């Protein structure tokens, strides 16, 4: 998935009210950007960080910039926009290039299921059980090379785990897909210390037959592209 508008570098001043961030552009101009991430962004919102913003001239939008990336040392990036994973994955799912998820003719997004929920993707194919896919954007890293989810307590995520397990019980296939929006991580784990309830629900879902997959990403200021599989480990 390519960013529609070329990103511009900036220095983070502060993130506040969850969805707002003040930043300073290279010419010294201070701007306010939309932060499309409701999570804690632990370790990704420290003042002084180098970030990348996407400008826009849409009169319907209140803010002229959207925060897309954090740049780390060594040329690594983290994608902070939680809407990116679904946009990036849809093309890969439709093209049948996601490992283990090929053979489905139709991929629909935001399909109602469970209790007042919508699954990220529902894949269908002749002779195959329907496949319910929940996508989680993973951006937390507290140990070198290890990505973790979640970065804060998530009652919504726990609810989704139960609904995926119910789809399996009904004879369908269900998959929890972690998309790691970091280029500096090679393994994924559940952050049980941050959300013990989610960790317990994750274990129950796996035992009930819910599949778990993690994919890395290639990330540059030009775009975000799903990459190869990463191992999901117990810690």
More confident residue, 222 or 99: 222
- The three state secondary structure string of the chain is CECCCCCEEEEEEEEECCCEEEEEECCCCEEEEEECCCCCCCCCCCCCCEEEEEECCCCCCCCCEEEEEEECHHHCEEECCCCHHHHHHHHHHHHCCCCCCCCCCEEEEEEEECCCEEEEEEEECCCCCCEEEEEEEECEEEECEEEEECCCCCHHHHHHHHHHHHHHHCCCEEEEEEEECECCEEEEEECCCCCHHHHHHHHHHHHCCCEEEEEEEEEECCEEEEEEEECECCC
Rg, Å, the chain Cα set: 18
pTM of structure: 0.93
Domains, the chain, ordered by start: 8-78 (2.40.50.580), 84-230 (3.40.1350.60)
Q: Tens digit of pLDDT for each residue in 173-215?
A: 999 999 999 999 999 999 999 999 999 999 999 999 999 999 9
At 91 the pLDDT is: 87
53 CB burial (10 A radius; 0-12, 13-18, 19+): buried
* pLDDT reading at 235 higher than 80: no
* pLDDT reading at 121 higher than 80: yes
Parallel/antiparallel/unpaired status of strands 8-16 and 50-55: antiparallel
Torsion of CA 156, 158, 161, 166, to 10 degrees: -90
* pLDDT reading at 35 higher than 90: yes
Q: Tens digit of pLDDT for each residue in 80-117?
A: 999 988 988 998 898 888 988 888 989 999 999 988 99
């Amino acid at each position: 998935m390519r960013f529609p508008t070329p990103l511009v570098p900036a220095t983070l001043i502060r993130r506040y009210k969850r969805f707002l961030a003040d930043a300073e552009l290279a010419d010294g101009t201070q701007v306010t950007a939309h932060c499309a991430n409701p999570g804690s962004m632990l370790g990704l919102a420290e003042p002084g960080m180098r970030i990348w913003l996407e400008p826009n001239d849409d009169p319907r939008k209140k803010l002229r910039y959207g925060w897309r990336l954090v740049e780390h040392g060594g040329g690594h990036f983290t994608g902070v926009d939680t809407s990116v994973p679904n946009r990036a994955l849809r093309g890969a799912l439709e093209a049948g290039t996601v490992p283990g998820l090929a053979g489905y003719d139709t991929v629909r997004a935001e399909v109602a299921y469970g209790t007042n929920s919508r699954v990220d993707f529902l894949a269908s194919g002749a002779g195959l059980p329907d496949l319910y896919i929940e996508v989680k954007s993973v951006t937390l890293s507290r140990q070198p090379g290890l990505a973790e989810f979640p970065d804060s307590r998530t009652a919504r995520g726990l609810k989704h785990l139960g609904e995926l397990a119910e789809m399996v019980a009904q004879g369908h296939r269900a998959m929890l897909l972690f998309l790691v929006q970091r280029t500096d991580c090679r393994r994924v784990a559940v952050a049980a210390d941050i959300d013990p309830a989610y960790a317990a629900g994750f274990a129950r879902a796996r035992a009930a037959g819910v599949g778990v997959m993690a994919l890395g990403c290639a990330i540059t200021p030009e775009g975000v592209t799903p990459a190869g599989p990463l191992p999901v480990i117990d810690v």
